[in-house]
């Protein structure tokens, strides 16, 4: 055995094939004194069995959900273990059918038994409604290079983006400040944080709820507006506010991310976004808290009061709170059609897209594609199968 530093010694046992191997360690010091491990060797000894490794790697992976085109390429992450050790992990994938070409990319170790990498593809190489099929493979370090793979997963490329802003975990009471009867909160999120410069239609807003207080918020209202301001020093009374959600009574359904589906989708233009949340109660108890992140300069303004006969959404509130902590938010939006450059794309088949918004009142938009110019007749039916519209267009 060879001294490898300090009191450490190492050596290799040469194997001559499968079977049981027995060994012991003998050492002699400078005074010629002998010791063995285990004690009593060679009558006692250690042993191990050498045989071909047939254990395959174990791959644990959470399948990817439908993925926004705007945020392509997606990243694949897997946890891979083996009794001998991992040689390599990779992904085989294709778009729609194998005939489009099967691609490969290697997953790289990112710590522990975890491996991760993004699809080797650009945003221009995928289109809305494309299906991505993929399988993860792993090979171990044994002489037989045992290999295994996952099942074939698949997901779709979609035109919906979920943008989350803020990673802090500090809990704040606003915008659901039910420790007082009435409350109003303005929150400013920059276009650079949202990251959708072409804009789009915001359909949901979510907050990461830490604890649920009481009572429920009566006269609950959310308003939004596009703006160019970059900081808040008071309630914003200029600009064009749009009421996007109202409810006679609202209380988050649970903790964690809780989404509110807007009753009127908001047309976001890609600049900065102002969000107002307010309510009007006649009693108070405790706050519903949400997670927030410290932001500078000031982008949150909050007021609260006990207005037994007033309305926190429209009446002046006496107390004022300015705080660098801004509630974390997630926005679900459909990017504007300009992002897809659809004018430069000629469909190669007949396509009918989901109407938007859905449900709607009184107007909705229906998109379709045809491979060549011609007369188009579109019939619309209600849920009972009755024809409600017959549209012709060229």
Q: What is the pLDDT of residues 262-293, one digit of tens each?
A: 999 999 999 999 999 999 998 999 999 999 99
Domain count, the chain: 4
pLDDT digits (tens, 9 = 90+) for 155-198: 999 988 899 999 999 999 999 999 999 999 999 999 999 988 88
Residue 204 near residue 262, CB atoms below 8 Å: yes
pTM: 0.61
Q: Is 233 exposed, middle or buried (0-12, 13-18, 19+ CB in 10 A)?
A: exposed
pLDDT digits (tens, 9 = 90+) for 302-357: 988 888 777 778 766 665 666 789 999 999 999 875 434 433 445 556 777 666 66
The answer as to whether 350 is a domain residue is yes
- Chain CA centroid to CA 175, Å: 23
The answer as to whether 382 is a domain residue is yes
Q: Which helix (H) or strand (E) holds 369?
A: strand 368-369
Torsion of Cα atoms, 378 then 384 then 385 then 390, to 10°: -30
Domain that holds residue 25: 18-51
The answer as to whether 311 is a domain residue is yes
Indicate if 246 and 213 belong to the same structural domain: yes
Q: What residue has token string 């938010």?
A: 329
Residue 146 has a pLDDT of 95
Indicate if 138 and 278 belong to the same structural domain: no
Given CA atoms 357, 360, 361, 365 in this order, what sign does their dihedral have?
positive
Indicate if 295 and 354 belong to the same structural domain: no
> Domain holding 117: CATH number?
2.60.40.10
Q: Is the pLDDT of residue 368 over 80?
A: no
Angstrom distance (rounded) from CA 217 to CA 311: 12
b/e string for 118-157 if b means 16 or more Cβ within 10 A? ebebeeeebebebebbbbbbbbbebeeebebbbeebebeb
The answer as to whether 10 is a domain residue is no
Indicate if 129 and 247 belong to the same structural domain: no
């Amino acid at each position: 055995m060879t001294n490898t530093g300090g009191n450490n010694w190492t050596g290799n046992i040469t194997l001559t094939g499968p079977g049981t191997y027995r060994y012991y360690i003998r050492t002699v010091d400078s005074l010629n004194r002998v010791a063995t491990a285990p004690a009593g060797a060679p009558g006692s000894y250690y042993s191990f069995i050498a045989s071909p490794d047939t254990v395959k790697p174990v791959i644990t992976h959470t399948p990817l959900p439908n993925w926004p085109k705007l945020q392509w390429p997606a990243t694949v992450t897997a946890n891979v273990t083996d009794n001998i050790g991992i040689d390599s992990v990779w992904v085989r994938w294709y778009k729609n059918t194998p005939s489009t070409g099967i691609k490969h990319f290697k997953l790289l170790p990112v710590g522990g038994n975890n491996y991760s990498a993004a699809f080797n593809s650009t945003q221009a190489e995928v289109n809305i409604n494309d299906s991505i099929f993929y399988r993860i493979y792993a090979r171990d370090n044994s002489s037989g290079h045992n290999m295994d793979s996952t099942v074939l997963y698949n997901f779709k490329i979609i035109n919906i983006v979920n943008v989350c802003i803020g990673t802090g975990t500090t809990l704040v009471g606003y915008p659901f400040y039910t420790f007082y009867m009435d409350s109003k909160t303005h929150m400013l999120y920059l276009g650079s944080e949202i990251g959708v410069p072409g804009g789009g239609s915001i359909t949901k807003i979510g907050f990461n709820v830490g604890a649920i207080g009481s009572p429920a918020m009566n006269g609950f209202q959310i308003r939004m507006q596009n703006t160019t301001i970059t900081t808040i020093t008071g309630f914003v009374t200029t600009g064009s506010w749009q009421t996007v959600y109202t409810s006679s009574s609202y209380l988050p359904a649970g903790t964690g991310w809780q989404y509110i589906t807007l009753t009127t989708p908001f047309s976001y233009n890609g600049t900065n976004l102002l969000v107002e949340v307010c309510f009007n109660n006649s009693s108070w108890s405790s706050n519903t808290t949400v997670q927030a992140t410290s932001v500078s300069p000031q982008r949150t303004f909050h007021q609260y009061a006990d207005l037994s006969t007033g309305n926190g959404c429209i009446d002046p509130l006496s107390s004022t709170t300015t705080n660098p902590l801004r509630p974390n938010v997630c926005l679900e939006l459909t990017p504007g059609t300009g992002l897809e450059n659809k004018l430069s794309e000629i469909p190669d088949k007949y396509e009918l897209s989901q109407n938007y918004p859905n449900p709607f009142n009184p107007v909705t938009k229906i998109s379709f594609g045809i491979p060549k110019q011609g007369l188009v007749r579109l019939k619309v039916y209600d849920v009972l199968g009755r024809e409600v519209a017959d549209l012709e267009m060229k």
